Structure 1
Amino acid sequence: MSGPTGAGPGAGPGSDAEPGAGPPAELVAELERFAARGRVLVALDFDGVLAPIVDEPSAARALPASAAALERLVATTDVALVSGRALDDLRACAQPPAGVVLVGGHGTQSSLDEGVDGADGAGGAALSAEQAALLERLGAELDAVATGREGVHVERKPMSAVLHTRRAAREVAAEATALALAGPGALPGVHALRGKEVVELGAVQLGKGGGVRRLREALSAAGGPVGAVLFAGDDVTDEDAFAALSPDAGDVTVKVGGGPTAARHRVGSPRDVAALLALLADLRGR
């Protein structure tokens, strides 16, 4: 498999792509093949992909061009947003068009499961008593890490607790991150994910790769086989989804921004994602 599109000679995975240039030629050719495959799934991270990264997470919104492209794309194509955000938070910020499936909590929640018997009412499987107790402990221990450290705060999700350090001084963020990973992150039964300025500790298995696989299976069971998946993400937590897909089988993986990646292609910014989605909507509409 070739290195990510946009990598210069000798750069390999991790080279940066210039924002604003639009989809590279190799990616355009692959999008044309993908669009011709019949039933396909377009799965996208939200923050850093549809929406620029902002200091206040609740203020994040999709770029207008991306929102318009999604509106057109969902008319012909299965579309999902796959995020680390809790499902309700993702819905409030993304404001997706009707028909877009939401997968939250790093794959632990799905809008397809909301209201289903045996779920927690928020699109995720109900926690056992042991898992609920572990989740309570994780929140308390992360609170202790955040206390007294300016710019560090803790978010509770239905399946996990998250330490946020984006607004902290760099040395404070590094110290809080190390304490979270070495302390509550090392407890038995804890599933730890480290992303951009966050440490997420789950009482259940976390991972967008599993979330994308389960979504593909659910859609295929309900309406016929999904022939291929396109996934675009910007964070280290998206690498799990890139690894779960197979470019050789027609899946398309797109890294947004710089940094090492297993994705086959790379674009520079959410603006480039908007151009990619507009092109794909055009191709699928033909």
Structure 2
Amino acid sequence: MRFPTDEGRQRYDALVRAAPRTVVGLDFDGTLAPIVDDPAQAHIHPDAAGVLLELAREVAAIAVITGRPARQALDLGGLEEVGDELAAEGKELFVFGQYGNERWSSQHRRIAAPRPPRGLATFERDLPRALRSADAADAYVEDKGLAVAVHTRRLADPDGAFHRLLPPLQALAQRHGLVLEPGRAVIEVRSPGSHKGMVVDRLAAVTDAEGFLFAGDDLGDVEAFEAVEALRQEGLATLRVCSASSEESALIALSDVVVRGPDGVLELLRELARDARALR
């Protein structure tokens, strides 16, 4: 792992000391699971379950906080089984889907979710015209129930299509009272009022956390990084981890630690578990 500043190393050391009262929040795609062309095939890293179990013995709680529907994350990550193993250790796993609009935990075992936002159905009705206007009619459209994601990764010119689509989809989202969230070769449109930063705040409050680590990889994680920084200013031990790639660099300047993709994230979590265990 790479610390952009000496302060990053100091923050890591402080988090190790606070580990028993620390919450670890993790994005899914690009952080726990490699980015792939087909989102339905984005299975969690094969080592993730074992690493999360090892880490859970040293921290207060672990949460997966993702833009995916919670059910997708549970299935692609085998997270219900991971939750069972954590429960046997007296720990709880949280899964927050669709930027916190959906909630699941290994204790309650069901997904709590609101109704789809007003305006989403009419947005989907108008979407094909917007795709054609941006010469991206073949973009893959994923209906998430509470949101719609337009993926450009499979197109001949993914980056060009992404940038052509941003203005018309932004205008269309605003027309229907929705918000736009850009990511890595994906543009998501959803209801306003919930983001990953709000989940970070909620988790810190309900767990009475003294430390918080969040790891993410793209623009959808910026609010979570900002919330973690606000917790640091309140006196918590914190660490912001960027799962870096050649596609997205927006989080690097905000990060305390930079690692390379899911492999790097899991190696950092292993090291955190080892260092925390050594202090027990």
> TM-score per shorter chain, which class?
0.7 to 0.9
Is 1:160 matched up with 2:153?
no
Residue 17 of structure 2, aligned match among 27, 30, 36: 36
CA distance, structure 1, for counterparts of residue 183 and residue 4 of structure 2: 23
Residue 178 of structure 1, aligned match among 152, 167, 173: 167
Q: Which residue of 2 aligns with 1:135?
A: 120
| CA RMSD, 1 decimal | 2.7
Q: Which amino acid aligns with 1:137?
A: T
SS of 1:101 mapped into structure 2 = strand
- Bigger fraction of residues in helix: 2
Q: Which residue of 2 aligns with 1:53?
A: 35
Q: Which residue of 2 aligns with 1:86?
A: 69
Deviation, 1:113, is 11
From the superposition, tell whether residues 114 and 186 of structure 1 become closer, same or farther in structure 2 (CA, over 3 Å). farther
> Contact 1:66–1:273 (CA<8 Å) still a contact in 2?
no
The number of residue pairs the alignment matches comes to: 252
Q: Which residue of 1 aligns with 2:264?
A: 272
- 1:118-267 superposed matches below 5 A: 122-126=111-115, 131-132=117-118, 134-146=119-131, 149=136, 151-170=138-157, 171-182=160-171, 184-187=172-175, 189-218=177-206, 220=207, 225-246=208-229, 247-248=232-233, 249=235, 250-258=237-245, 259-261=249-251, 262-267=254-259
Q: Which residue of 1 aligns with 2:100?
A: 107
From the superposition, tell whether residues 152 and 206 of structure 1 become closer, same or farther in structure 2 (CA, over 3 Å). farther
Deviation, 1:140, is 1.9
Q: Would you identify which runs of 4 or more consecutive aligned residues in structure 1 move more than 4 Å?
A: 25-29, 112-116
Deviation, 1:123, is 2.0
Q: Which amino acid aligns with 1:191?
A: V
CA distance, structure 2, for counterparts of residue 114 and residue 84 of structure 1: 22
> Structure 1: any 5+ residue segments left out of the alignment?
8-24
Q: Which amino acid aligns with 1:33?
A: A
CA distance, structure 1, for counterparts of residue 178 and residue 115 of structure 2: 16
Q: Which residue of 1 aligns with 2:48?
A: 66
> Structure 2: any 5+ residue segments left out of the alignment?
84-91
SS of 1:111 mapped into structure 2 = strand
Q: Percent identity?
A: 25
Q: Which amino acid aligns with 1:162?
A: A
From the superposition, tell whether residues 111 and 195 of structure 1 become closer, same or farther in structure 2 (CA, over 3 Å). same
152-161 or 35-44, which deviates more = 152-161
Q: Which amino acid aligns with 1:154?
A: V
Deviation, 1:206, is 3.6
| Deviations, residues 205-260 of structure 1 (Å, cap 9, x unaligned) | 24111122123223x2xxxx111110000011111100111244311111111513
Instruction: Tell me the TM-score normalized by structure 2.
Output: 0.79
SS of 1:72 mapped into structure 2 = helix
> Contact 2:196–2:223 (CA<8 Å) still a contact in 1?
yes
107-116 or 226-235, which deviates more = 107-116
Q: Relative contact order (C-alpha < 8 Å, sep 6+): which is higher? A: 1
From the superposition, tell whether residues 113 and 61 of structure 1 become closer, same or farther in structure 2 (CA, over 3 Å). closer
239-248 or 46-55, which deviates more = 239-248
CA distance, structure 1, for counterparts of residue 40 and residue 262 of structure 2: 18
